[in-house]
Structure formats: structure tokens, C-alpha cells
Amino acid sequence: MKKVFLLLMVLCASLLTHAQGFANYADSMLSRWCIDVNGRGGLLSQNYTSLYTLDNYAQNINSNTGTLKFKNGYNVGGELQVGYFFGRMRHWGVGTGINYTSMVGDITVDGYHVEYRAVDFKDNVYRQVLTANNVAEHMEMTGFNIPVLLKYKNRWSKHWGFTADGGLMLGVQRSNSWKADASFNYEAIYKFTDLTHTVYDDAPVANVEDYFITRANWLKNNHNGDVQAYFNDLNNKGYNVGLNVKPGSGSGKTTFSSVTLGILLKPSVNLFLSDNVALDFGVYYMFQPFKGGADRGYTLTSKVGDYNTVLNSVSTANTQSYGVNIGARFFLGRRPKDRDHDGVPDKKDLCPDDSGSVLLQGCLDRDGDGITDKNDSCPDVKGLVKFNGCPDSDKDGIEDRKDECPFDAGLKQFNGCPDRDKDGVIDKNDACPDVPGEVQYRGCPDSDADGIPDPEDHCPTVPGPVSNFGCPEGSGTHGSNVDSLKDVDPSTPILFDINKTSIKKESMPVLEKAARLMKEGKDITINIGGFTDNTGPEDYNQGLSIMRGMAVKLELVRMGVKFEAVKVTGYGEKKPAAPNNTPEGRRKNRRAVMNVGK
């Protein structure tokens, strides 16, 4: 039963966790007020705290008042609650009412045996020996509680939902009816100092010369005698002895009336028969402590036939019960009109003809950004309130639809595009994005002011004519840097930074060599292959590889190569030059390669 109960609790907890993700089915359309009627049944356990009563037996030795145990417990009960759900969604609420429980079980006492100083009817002192053969009390208990609960509900379809109650229970009364099944042996040991006077023998082992009125001693001396008749005869003479004596009064009733606090947990699955009635099927757990009216002078028995219920020794009784709950919930009131069936009454629905969200008062929000479609300038893309629902992907304060570089944080004066070198030429149009330059040279500098930008100037620090590649006349056929191109291989890979198409300065000699070969030869073409590493989506990388090839082509055209003589092919992530599993490998794969030939 415990395993089944735990499984049901886990199942209900899982439903509670996932209920938040289910589409809301008009919880807000249900009445705020409800009445719950529940019946339950399951297992019961109790543990007790008892007073220390051994000292109530005078000068006791070799004694143990035993251990209380509870077994065979079960309970049934019911409750009537009134609840109120608050908030726009009406998922959470509070409730209270009356809770009744009927409980059944058995209490046993194990190991009861006491030996103590007593005085008989002749005022003789002796050792009384009491031993329980068995002690069991069948208990029938009833309890009344006032629950104060937090309530939760979530209806995720027309017929199904989830509900859970949890909170405190104010215990106001508990009655206990008991019926005992017990028997005791009452034996005695007398120690005589003379023929008429006795003293209490408090030695753990009584003196062999003592007078024993015990079953064992009598049977030792009377193998075939009637020991029961012997004890009955002594009892009739006034001695407090007897064998297998049952209580003279074996039943009674006690009441725990002090107010206590307990807890109740009750998750359930709902089956909606209509918008006004739902059946509940679930589990429950209750814990309720009770304070007993323990008697500080308590003894289980002392005189033959006397019996005092074990409940009179109990100071506290902690009760736990768990099992299955079945009930019904009745929602009070009529369902309001809701013509778009979105769970928002028409009188509170800002969009009464469009099925929307309860949180947005019945209006649609297709992109789920918390801005209703009618107020969302970008209704199909999640955005920000300050941009009327439109996104700002690069978080530069400029909404994407007005941002010319929506994925690179930039400046407002450049419509959202960055300008790293702050030369007034945005990076995507800047051939030298990390070095301040001039607008007419696409952001590149002209250090010697000869009208040739530095990347194209073979003598960037000395003025020279265009005809001599920016080098002074007489410094060589094509300037001092021309001879240095003789060892440059035009098929050398041109490397790029991550997600960039800007050509680095160190790659310019490769382009210059290719441009020179084109000008010196005839019917020569250049095929440029663009490549990327495997960082980013494959489709994006395919486009990036073409853009890298085009960047090389445009640079060649600026150097005087005919546009139609250069062809570009983008390969994306294909044909890597090195493995992509290291930074160095990925660096080598971000490239463009020229093939110069006829």
C-alpha cells in the first residue's frame, strides 16, 4: 500500500509540475467560489510518547513497564469545504471547512513485568510480582479538524484538470473508545523475620528461604497439583495473587480535547462533467498530533482484576494517515459569455473576437513577447516593449527594422552599423576597418598623400605617380616594392578573421602579384575560391564564402583588373585546408584562394 501511495504522490507531483505547461482551458471562466465534498480511506500509523511511570511502583526492582506499539491501523473519513479562487487566472485560492476522521487500530504492550514493595490485607510487607501475559487494546477513534488550506487548480482540457490542497488542520477533538484483551499473573514473595513479621526483600534475586507464592515454585513442589485452584484459594482469603486474570472492566472511552495543529496534503486529478461539476480522484496525506490526559500516578494494574487503559499513560500521540481520496467539486454561479472561447469573459476581453491569452486580457500574442498583436509592430518576431514589439538583436539601442547592421552593435549616426577605427566609414564598407582612413579611399589611409591609398601603394611613405604604383620615378620599373613581388605566389591563401570579409594588409602583396600577372599577360583569368570554417550555420557559411571571394575580386578590380576576367566560387565549409577541431585549423580554413591561368 505504501508503494502504491508513493507512486500516486509522484504522479500527482509530476502533473502539478507539468500543468503549468498545458494550454489553459478557461480556468478563468470557472466561478471563483466552490464547494468540495470528499471521502477518503487508507492506512493509519501512530507513535506515542508516554510518561515515565515506573516510579509509581514503590521500591521497584527487576521492572519494566513495557513498550507501546500500534498496528493494524486504517482510517476512513470525509470533509466539506468552501473555497475561493483569486487572481485573473483563478489558479490559486484558499479554503476551509470541517474534516471528520474515523480510525481503527490495535495498541499492544510488550514486556510488562514489575516487582515492587506492597502491603497485604494483614499489613504484612511483601514483594508484589506482576507479569502481563498479553496486553492489547482495540481502538476506535474519531477526530474533528478545521482545515485552513491553500488551493491550486489547472484545467488543461475540456474534461481534465489538476487540483491540489495543502495546509494546516486545527484539531479540535479526538475521542478514543477502547476494549482490552489482556491477562496478568499476580504473584507474591514474603520474607519473614519471625513467625508473624515480614520485611521487603529488595534483592534482585529473592532469598531461597523466602515464602514464594509463585506459579513456578508451586509447580516445583506439586507436580500434579492444580496451581490455578491454589491461587484462587489464596485470593479468596484476601491475598493479592492470581493467574491469567483478565481485567474486571475491559472497555472504556477517553477524549483528547486540547487544540493541536496538523497538516494535510491532497493532490487530485479532475474529471469535469460540466463547467459547474468536477469529480476528484487522488491521494492524501495527513499528520495530526494529539495531547493526551496522562495521569502522573498511572499504573497499568496493581490489584487483581484492576485495569487502567494504556491511553492514560500517553502524553502525546502522533497520527499519520495516507490513502485514496474521491470527491466532487461544485462551482457556484453561471458561466459568463465568452464568444471567442479564450477564457476571458466578453465584458473583460479587450479582443472579444480573437482567441487570445488570459494574461493579455484576451488578445493574441503570436510571438509570445508579452505585447498584443494589435500593438506589436513585429507580431511574428519576439521584441521589446520600447520598440513596440520589434527586436534589437545586437542590443545597440536601434531596432532591427531600422538597423542596417542588425547583428553587429553600432552607432545611431550610422544606422546601427559599427565603425571600429572611427574614420566615418562603417566597417562593412571600410577596406581598412582597423586603421583610420579617408572616405574616398573606402576608409584606407594615404600616408604619403600621393592619391594612392596605402594598400595599393608600393611606396606608401614616399609620394609617387600612379603609373609607377605610387613609387618615385627612377626607383625601378614598378617601384621599389615591385621587385619584392617576384617571390610572391598568387595562389597563397588570403586569410580572414572570424565572420569577416575584410582583406588584411599582409595579404595585399598576393593580390598585387595576381594583378601584375593579369596586366602583363593576355587571355589570363583568375578563379577565386572562397571558404569558411565550420563555425556557424552551414547556409550562412556558404554565403560568407561567396562574400570573401567577392571581396578579393573587387580589390583586384580596383587594382586595374577587368571585372569579367575574375570568377568567384563559394565553397562554404567544404574542402577544408586543415581540421576544424583546433583554433589554428579553423584559422587556415577562413580563406580565399586565387588560381591565375589561361
b vs e for 130-142, b when ≥16 Cβ sit within 10 Å of the residue's Cβ? bbbeebebebebe
* Band of pLDDT at residue 88, cut at 50, 70 and 90: confident
User: pLDDT digits over 540-562, tens only?
Assistant: 999 999 999 999 999 888 888 88
Bridge partners for 107 per DSSP: 70, 137
Residue partners of 221: CB distance under 8 A and separation at least 6: none
* Band of pLDDT at residue 235, cut at 50, 70 and 90: very high
**pLDDT, the chain, mean:** 87
User: pLDDT digits over 132-168, tens only?
Assistant: 999 999 999 998 999 999 999 999 888 999 999 999 9
Amino acid 79: pLDDT: 95
* Band of pLDDT at residue 46, cut at 50, 70 and 90: very high
pLDDT over threshold 80, residue 366: yes
Amino acid 101: pLDDT: 94
pLDDT over threshold 80, residue 339: no
pLDDT over threshold 90, residue 96: yes
Mean pLDDT over 104-128 rounds to 96
Of 108-117, 128-137, 347-356, 421-430, the poorest mean pLDDT is in 347-356
User: pLDDT digits over 415-466, tens only?
Assistant: 889 988 888 888 888 888 888 989 888 888 888 888 888 877 778 778 888 8
Amino acid 435: pLDDT: 85
Of 300-314, 337-351, 354-368, 467-481, the poorest mean pLDDT is in 467-481
Of 259-273, 299-313, 474-488, 505-519, the poorest mean pLDDT is in 474-488
The pairing of strands 277-291 and 251-256 is unpaired
Amino acid 257: pLDDT: 62
Amino acid 1: pLDDT: 44
pLDDT over threshold 60, residue 14: no
Amino acid 24: pLDDT: 44
SS3 (DSSP) at 332: coil
b vs e for 382-401, b when ≥16 Cβ sit within 10 Å of the residue's Cβ? bbbeebebbbbbbebebbbe
Answer whether 437's CB lies under 8 Å from 453's CB.
yes
* Band of pLDDT at residue 355, cut at 50, 70 and 90: confident
Does the CA dihedral 254-260-263-266 come out positive or negative?
positive
Amino acid 400: pLDDT: 87
Count other C-beta atoms under 10 Å from residue 361's C-beta.
15
* Band of pLDDT at residue 86, cut at 50, 70 and 90: very high
Q: CA 285: distance to chain centroid? A: 20
Q: How far is it, in rounded angstroms, from Cα 165 to Cα 39?
A: 14
C-alpha cell at 47: 507513535
Residue partners of 517: CB distance under 8 A and separation at least 6: 490, 524, 596
Amino acid 4: pLDDT: 44
Amino acid 388: pLDDT: 87
Amino acid 21: pLDDT: 41
Q: How far is it, in rounded angstroms, from Cα 401 to Cα 339?
A: 36
Map out the domains of the chain with their CATH numbers: 2-331 (no CATH), 488-598 (3.30.1330.60)
pLDDT over threshold 50, residue 493: yes
pLDDT over threshold 80, residue 330: yes
